[in-house]
Structure 1
């Protein structure tokens, strides 16, 4: 393989932001911080898998949240791969996002009936993030995760499925190109980081926030609105 490629994707459309009654439903009241995908989100995730069919991906890693695991699982079904649960890819563990405390993640055994391709890695590269994180500690955690996974798979193409904040931090931890503004990350958009040669710091972007393969795209304005809702601006990113 001439170059290593790491693909980054945000999860598909999440139920709590798309369905007005989800938060007051039994499922929403039971675990309000870990919403699943909507039907549209599952379709977006399937189309992401179709987009990646020719990219020679050998490993899929996912954040432990349900929406990211469901997204990764749809891709894994298309590519016939497993999904490795990686804590370092999770959402920013910010108190503003989780005012009642951190979510309680399900184990791979608990997920097995609905997500049978999900696996706990034999040797995870990071541990569960401390709560609460700041933007700075979340960024350092994403940087450490991206670098560790790149070193672990130096001759492979891998997919990391994460969140708007963590996809941005993961991308910028690998590619140090100066660019104006932030990365506004729509649902299931795809970013490609390419390393040429042996230098671990020599990365560049391939596709960036690509979503033209989706039949139902999230408007960029909605991604920007969500970014503001999470309290993100260029100073925190």
Structure 2
């Protein structure tokens, strides 16, 4: 089995600093015009990956990025709350997650699959780094189990969440992973050694501007005893 992880494209509020001041849901910015462009680049490149399933965070920037892939491959988008954004342990009011419901998203993005059962319905209000890793490990294990006989799959998420998901796949909470927007990390299951292996991380050579907006944690995860 093969799992690809990617991050949404460039956000509108990174370009338009006034966007949040008038937004009804400040934590849920859409893609910027440039964000749509690089999502399209990812979508075109995804035709070489043999993908069978697209799993996405419910945040609109991820749904829009997923749609760019889904349109190229004619696939549905499966929303999973287990791969939602990380708000940190002390979020600001504007960072509190308030995504549209799946039914509301379906009206805007027809490729959403309302029959898919998310690994969780919980929307975190705050999380430590350790709690993020615990949450994503549970979800990615369940996602892999769902699709282990029907891959490859791609998960479209956010910087911190994407890194934590990759670490969950590798069972290494400090694995160094790249998180540039719309970049790809590829994980393969080695049946001989019965373990997951990282083939590459942060692949961005299919985008004309290469890697953009890489992010990482400021401190390592402390393993619990």
Q: One fold, TM greater than 0.5? A: yes
Deviation at 1:128, TM superposition (A): 1.4
Match of 1:57 in 2: 51
C-alpha separation in 1, matches of 2:206 and 2:34: 14
8 Å contact 2:170–2:197 — kept in the other structure?
yes
Match of 1:168 in 2: 163
Q: How many residues align?
A: 221
Please name the residue that 2:39 is paired with.
45
The unaligned stretches of length 5 or more in structure 2 are: none
Q: Please identify, of 126-135 and 161-170, the stretch whose mean Cα deviation from structure 2 is larger.
A: 126-135
Return closer, same or farther for 1:236/1:96 CA change in 2, 3 Å cut-off.
farther
How far the C-alpha of 1:235 sits from its partner, in A, is 2.4
Shift of 1:176: 4.2
Residue segments in structure 1 that go unaligned for 5+ positions in a row: none
2:129 is equivalent to residue 135 of structure 1? yes
> After alignment, is 103-112 or 134-143 more displaced?
103-112
Mapped contact 1:57–1:159 kept (Cα < 8 A): yes
Judge conservation of contact 1:177–1:204 (CA < 8 Å) in 2: no
Deviation at 1:74, TM superposition (A): 1.0
Separation (CA, whole Å) in 1 of partners of 2:184 and 2:29: 21
The CA deviation string for residues 174-196 of structure 1, in whole angstroms up to 9 with x for no partner, is: 1246987x434111110011002
Measured after TM superposition, the shift of residue 101 of structure 1 is 6.7
In the other structure, the counterpart of 1:234 is: 219
- How big is the alpha-carbon RMSD for the aligned residues of Structure 1 and Structure 2? 2.3
Q: Partner residue of 1:209? A: 202
Cα deviation for residue 109 of structure 1 reads 1.9
Q: Relative to structure 1, is the Cα distance of residues 21 and 176 closer, same or farther in structure 2, using a 3 angstrom cutoff?
A: same
Aligned-partner Cα distance in 1 for 2:118–2:203: 29
* Shift, 1:131, TM fit: 2.3
- 101 and 49 in structure 1: CA distance in 2 versus 1, 3 angstrom threshold: closer
Measured in 2, the distance between the counterparts of 1:23 and 1:80 equals 33
Q: Tell me, what secondary structure is at the counterpart of 2:142? A: helix
| 3-state DSSP of counterpart to 2:13 | helix
Q: Are the equivalent residues in 1 in contact too, given 2:45–2:206 (CA < 8 A)?
A: yes
User: Residue by residue, what CA displacement relative to the aligned partner does 1:117-159 show, whole Å, maximum 9, x if unpaired?
Assistant: 1123442222314422211111111111111111111121101
With structure 1 as the length reference, what TM-score do the two structures score? Answer: 0.84
Counterpart secondary structure, 2:140: helix
For the residue of structure 1 that corresponds to 2:6, the secondary structure is strand
* CA displacement at 1:218 relative to structure 2: 4.6
Taking structure 1 as reference, are residues 57 and 13 closer, same or farther at Cα in structure 2, changes over 3 Å only?
Answer: same
Alpha-carbon distance between aligned partners in 2 of 1:130 and 1:53, rounded to the nearest angstrom: 33
